[in-house]
């Protein structure tokens, strides 16, 4: 039943993008309907996939035995003679590390499509690009061939650049270029490491078939694969029969590295006087930290959020930032667990610093969109802190925080968009006592604010709690980060309560007042379309806050396998 399910999820939006691009302008009113239907189908299929996901499947995350809904066929290969064979697979699959991210992406993209209903300018271009972006994002979360993952990762740049640069605010060109350049730098760093990994990693199954150790790829057994790995280590397999691979699962298994290759664990290779593996880890870390974003690579985010139209801010905060966190888990930490432990102190420090720095900046903002943007920097700091802990609780908290923040940040930017649509103004100081005029809107804002500041009963509390549990445990369990880091990070909780409660007090309570009297008539409460966006998001924020096992059960086995690899690398 799950055959090709992931492909359908990815390519339905892409097909819809082509349909929108080819439809004549006289059918312009159908563009948004096509987008909603296509992304609705992807969402339904994602929910089906999650419902069929077997959370009892165990196994280390460097083995394909831990994967489900696998689609794997050779995409293309090139014979390089004495250098072996270059092979790229169309390889999709899910485990506990990415199944929640796939569901989150489908939810937020669908909500973003509903939010796009009022787009009037150049609708064909907008919805075509939005659907292309959706396909790329969904592909990123399920691609398990590094080459394929990189293609999806790069394809996100183009639609995002135009969606901000054409449909954005007054400084949209500046924001779009800044976003593009920052992300491109990160992509180049990732590409360099990808090439290094390709030259260091081989596919034991294809190599065994090429060397005649077993008859065909489909007939390979685990014992035969181990035999191939042994023969390669002993140098008994000729270079012509070596099939190099971009398989991300193979890259996470040190047994699949060629002996003394540039990035193998036994390699003495150095870059700038440091271990090549350490430098490769740092390059991947920085590449994905730009996307996350973490201090000091965050400066593109406030500009992009302020200038982007509301639906794109929703997608940017709700999903694109999570690709940074997921990329770190799937690549940097999985491929180089020894390097992750070596730099865990640094990662934890920048996570802690991002929490405090982002919160302090949010406290100083006058624009509500900038406040939410800096709160995202702060909340993504919890992801870094949880990953740096290298404990089951910390990594589970990091994934939970990404999922939770995706729902909450989408709600927050929709909240800002509702006000901006009515008044064309986002300055906090220009409003007062809005609760008198917009009582239902005020309820939604209050729920979003309290969820984001980590109030018990909402999903944000669970993510932050798990991160702190893991971070406090880390010093005694594995010694990755010291106890004082999570202690200092707790200050971020106080600061987040400060900027949210202060904003709520200034904008919604007290005497009703709006700076421009001409805007009074536009201040009407939520519409049916807006209810359709807010109600599902709020319901999920509350559900995952009260029943965290719904998500934790999905990810627990994979997280345990992932952290087990971290511990093994340290020993």
- Percent helix, strand, coil in the chain, to 5, is 70, 5, 20
Neighbours of 149 (CB within 10 A): 24
Q: What is the mean pLDDT of residues 320-327?
A: 93
At residue 220, the pLDDT reads 74
CB-facing half-sphere around the CA of 466: CA atoms within 13 A: 29
Q: Which residues pair with 87 in a beta bridge?
A: 77
Q: What is the mean pLDDT of residues 515-540?
A: 85
pLDDT over 70 for what percent of the chain?
Answer: 98
Largest interatomic CA distance in the chain: 82
SS3 211: helix
- The yes-or-no verdict on residue 44 having pLDDT over 70 is yes
pLDDT over 90 for what percent of the chain?
Answer: 66
> What does the DSSP assignment read for 343-368?
THHHHHHHHHHHHHHHHHHHHT-SBH
Question: For the sheet containing 85-94, what is the strand order?
Answer: 68-79, 85-94, 243-244
Chain-wide mean pLDDT for the chain? 90
DSSP type of residue 217 = G
67, two tokens? 């994967």
At residue 234, the pLDDT reads 82
Consecutive H or E run containing 125: helix 123-142
279-306 burial, b for 16+ CB within 10 Å, e for fewer? bbbbbbbbbbbbbbbbbebbebbbbbbb
413-449 burial, b for 16+ CB within 10 Å, e for fewer? bbbbbbbbebbeebebebbbbbbebbeebbebbebbb
Distances (CA, A) of 109 to 42, 100, 561, 567: 9, 14, 30, 36
More confident residue, 392 or 217: 392
CA 463/CA 356 separation, integer angstroms: 17
**pLDDT tens for each residue of 115-139:** 999 888 889 999 999 999 999 999 9
CA 138/CA 160 separation, integer angstroms: 15
Radius of gyration of the chain (CA): 24
Q: Which residues pair with 270 in a beta bridge?
A: 275
Cis check for the bond before 136: say yes or no (omega within 30 of 0). no
pLDDT band of residue 28 (cuts 50, 70, 90) is: confident
**pLDDT tens for each residue of 68-95:** 999 999 888 887 776 667 788 999 999 9
Cis check for the bond before 293: say yes or no (omega within 30 of 0). yes
At residue 212, the pLDDT reads 76
**pLDDT tens for each residue of 407-424:** 999 999 999 999 988 888
Count the residues in the chain: 571
- The yes-or-no verdict on residue 369 having pLDDT over 70 is yes
CA 211/CA 197 separation, integer angstroms: 22
Consecutive H or E run containing 24: none
From 378, 274, 396, 293, select the one nearest 336 (Cα to Cα).
Answer: 274
At residue 514, the pLDDT reads 84
From 529, 82, 112, 530, select the one nearest 308 (Cα to Cα).
Answer: 112
Angle between helical axes of 368-389 and 300-307 (0-180°, round to 10)? 140
- The yes-or-no verdict on residue 104 having pLDDT over 70 is yes
DSSP type of residue 275 = E
107 φ, ψ (degrees, to nearest 5): -65, -50
Q: Do 133 and 163 form a contact (C-beta atoms < 8 A)?
A: yes
Distances (CA, A) of 75 to 150, 206, 521, 530: 15, 13, 58, 43
pLDDT band of residue 571 (cuts 50, 70, 90) is: low
pLDDT band of residue 356 (cuts 50, 70, 90) is: very high
pTM above 0.85, yes or no: yes
CA 212/CA 207 separation, integer angstroms: 8
- The yes-or-no verdict on residue 522 having pLDDT over 80 is no
At residue 521, the pLDDT reads 67
71 φ, ψ (degrees, to nearest 5): -125, 115
Report how far apart the first and last C-alpha atoms of the chain are (Å, whole number): 42
At residue 222, the pLDDT reads 78
pLDDT band of residue 518 (cuts 50, 70, 90) is: low
**pLDDT tens for each residue of 196-242:** 998 889 888 888 877 777 777 777 777 778 888 888 888 888 878 88
Angle between helical axes of 204-211 and 222-233 (0-180°, round to 10)? 80
218, two tokens? 């489909």
At residue 178, the pLDDT reads 92
CB-facing half-sphere around the CA of 272: CA atoms within 13 A: 6
- The yes-or-no verdict on residue 1 having pLDDT over 60 is no
At residue 3, the pLDDT reads 80
CB-facing half-sphere around the CA of 381: CA atoms within 13 A: 32
SS3 180: helix
Alpha helices in 365-490 (DSSP H): 368-389, 392-423, 434-437, 439-452, 459-477, 484-489
Distances (CA, A) of 340 to 95, 380, 387: 21, 18, 9
Q: Do 89 and 74 form a contact (C-beta atoms < 8 A)?
A: yes
**pLDDT tens for each residue of 451-503:** 999 999 999 999 999 999 999 999 888 888 999 999 999 999 999 999 999 99
At residue 76, the pLDDT reads 85
CA 81/CA 88 separation, integer angstroms: 17
């Amino acid at each position: 039943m799950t055959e090709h399910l992931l492909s359908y999820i990815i390519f339905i939006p892409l097909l819809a993008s082509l349909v929108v691009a080819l439809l004549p302008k006289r059918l312009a009113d159908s563009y948004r309907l096509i987008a909603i239907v296509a992304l609705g189908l992807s969402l339904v299929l994602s929910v089906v996939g999650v419902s069929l996901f077997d959370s009892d499947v165990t196994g280390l995350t460097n083995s394909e035995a831990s994967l489900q809904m696998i689609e794997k066929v050779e995409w293309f290969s090139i014979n390089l003679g004495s250098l072996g064979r270059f092979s790229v697979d169309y390889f999709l699959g899910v485990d506990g590390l990415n199944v929640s991210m796939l569901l989150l992406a489908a939810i937020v993209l669908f909500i973003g499509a509903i939010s796009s209903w009022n787009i009037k300018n150049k609708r064909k271009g907008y919805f075509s690009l939005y659907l292309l972006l959706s396909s790329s994002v969904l592909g990123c979360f399920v691609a398990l061939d590094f080459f394929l993952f990189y293609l999806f990762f790069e394809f996100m740049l183009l639609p995002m650049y135009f969606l901000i640069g054409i449909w954005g605010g007054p400084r949209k060109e500046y924001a779009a270029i800044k976003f593009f350049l920052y992300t491109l730098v990160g992509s180049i760093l990732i590409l360099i490491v990808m090439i290094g990994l390709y030259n260091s990693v081989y596919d034991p199954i294809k190599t065994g078939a090429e060397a005649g150790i077993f008859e065909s790829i489909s007939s390979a057994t685990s014992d035969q694969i181990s035999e191939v790995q042994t023969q390669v280590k002993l140098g008994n397999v000729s270079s012509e029969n070596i099939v190099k691979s971009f398989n991300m699962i193979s890259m996470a298994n040190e047994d699949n590295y060629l002996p003394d290759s540039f990035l193998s664990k036994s390699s003495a290779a150095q870059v700038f006087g440091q271990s090549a593996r350490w430098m490769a880890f740092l390059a991947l870390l920085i590449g994905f930290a730009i996307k996350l974003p973490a201090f000091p690579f965050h400066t593109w985010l406030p500009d992009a959020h302020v200038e982007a139209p509301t639906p794109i801010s929703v997608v940017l905060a709700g999903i694109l930032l999570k690709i940074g966190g997921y990329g770190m888990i799937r690549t940097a930490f999985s491929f180089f667990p020894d390097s992750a432990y070596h730099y865990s102190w640094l990662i934890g420090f920048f996570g802690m610093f991002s929490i405090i720095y982002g919160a302090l900046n949010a406290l100083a903002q006058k624009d509500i969109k900038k406040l939410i943007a800096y709160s995202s920097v702060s909340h993504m700091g919890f992801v870094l802190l949880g990953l740096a802990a290298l404990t089951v609780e910390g990594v589970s908290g990091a994934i939970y925080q990404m999922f939770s923040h995706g729902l909450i940040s989408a709600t927050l930017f929709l909240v800002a968009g509702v006000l901006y649509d009515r008044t064309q103004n986002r300055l906090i100081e220009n409003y007062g006592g809005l609760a008198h005029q917009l009582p239902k809107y005020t309820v939604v804002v209050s729920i979003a604010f309290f969820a984001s500041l980590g109030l018990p009963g909402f999903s944000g509390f669970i993510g932050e709690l798990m991160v702190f549990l893991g971070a406090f445990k880390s010093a005694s369990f594995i010694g990755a980060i010291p106890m004082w880091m999570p202690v200092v990070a707790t200050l971020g909780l106080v600061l987040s309560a400060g900027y949210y409660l202060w904003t709520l007090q200034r904008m919604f309570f007290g005497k009703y007042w709006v700076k421009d009297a001409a805007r009074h008539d536009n201040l009407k409460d939520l519409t049916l379309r807006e209810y359709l966006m807010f109600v599902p998001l709020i319901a999920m924020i509350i559900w995952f806050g009260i029943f965290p096992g719904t998500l934790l059960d999905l990810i627990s086995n994979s997280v345990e396998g992932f952290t087990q690899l971290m511990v093994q690398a340290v020993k």
